Amino acid sequence: MTLNTGSKISAVVCSVMVIIGLAAVRHPGQLRTSRRGQLFIAGAEGCRRAPYRCFAGRPTVGIGSTGHVIMNRRYTDNEIADRWFSDMYTAETCINRYFNGRLMPQFPFEAMTSAALNVGCTDLWWNKKERHFTQIYREAQAQHWPAMCHRLPDFRYSAGKPVLLARRLREEAWCLQH
């Protein structure tokens, strides 16, 4: 879909639902995150065919994808769907590997996958500044799922500003549904 204001194109957006559907067709049964969970996660990101710089200044395209983005290029729905699948698969692998994801109930798994997708795997389990495991990692290791969920708002900063608090609070609420 192209948004048009007057005679200039102001933004190039894509449909989150179409991208998630395409990813499911192109990579059937390969993600644990439910369609509803994917819509929840993608809703926090939005979808753009044209690359842009996120709040932290990273080149971003599609549904929050930051890996190997080529600026000044328009991406197709199939490319965005493949990036979405790859990013989700990477985030799910992180949660399985570092947070006992295979033992985690569905809603906490989806909330943690959302956080891993947004924050990055290493930053979710390792505090670089203080050089120790994060509290959310420790709660997951102990399988204290509600306590783990309550740690999601700890990851509210991007570029030193608390711009992710609303997203983390939505993830916390999603997480606590189990």
Write down the domain spans for the chain.
2-72+83-175
Q: Please, what CATH class does the domain formed by 2-72+83-175 belong to?
A: mainly alpha
Distance (Å, whole) CA 48 – CA 27: 21
Q: Is the pLDDT of residue 8 over 70?
A: no
Q: Contacts for 146-149 with beta carbons within 8 Å, 24 or more apart?
A: 146/176, 148/99, 148/108, 148/112, 148/175, 149/108, 149/111, 149/175, 149/176
Sign of the Cα torsion 156, 170, 135, 89 reads negative
Amino acid code (one letter) for 18: V
The tally of CA atoms less than 13 A away on the side-chain side of residue 25 is 9
Catalytic residue among 45, 92, 171, 172: 45
Query: 111 exposed, middle or buried (CB, 10 Å; 0-12, 13-18, 19+)?
Result: buried
- Phi, psi for residue 60 in degrees, rounded to 5: -140, 145
Contact 31, 90 (CB under 8 A): no
Contact 99, 88 (CB under 8 A): no
pLDDT value for 12: 84
Q: Is the pLDDT of residue 1 over 50?
A: no
Distance (Å, whole) CA 110 – CA 87: 13
Q: What is the pLDDT of residues 59-95, one digit of tens each?
A: 999 999 999 999 999 999 999 999 999 999 999 999 9
pLDDT value for 5: 43
Q: What is the pLDDT of residues 23-73, one digit of tens each?
A: 999 999 999 999 999 999 999 889 999 999 998 899 999 999 999 999 999
pLDDT value for 159: 86
Catalytic residue among 14, 47, 54, 171: 54
Q: What is the pLDDT of residues 112-167, one digit of tens each?
A: 999 999 999 999 999 999 999 999 999 999 999 999 999 999 999 988 899 999 99
Over residues 1-12, the mean pLDDT reads: 45
pLDDT value for 10: 34
Over residues 1-7, the mean pLDDT reads: 42
- Label residue 137 left, alpha or beta by phi (over 0 means left) and psi (-120 to 50 means alpha): alpha
Longest dimension (CA), the chain: 57
pLDDT value for 7: 34
54 is catalytic: yes
Over residues 8-19, the mean pLDDT reads: 76
Q: Is the pLDDT of residue 4 over 50?
A: no
Contact 124, 115 (CB under 8 A): yes
149 is catalytic: no
pLDDT value for 44: 86
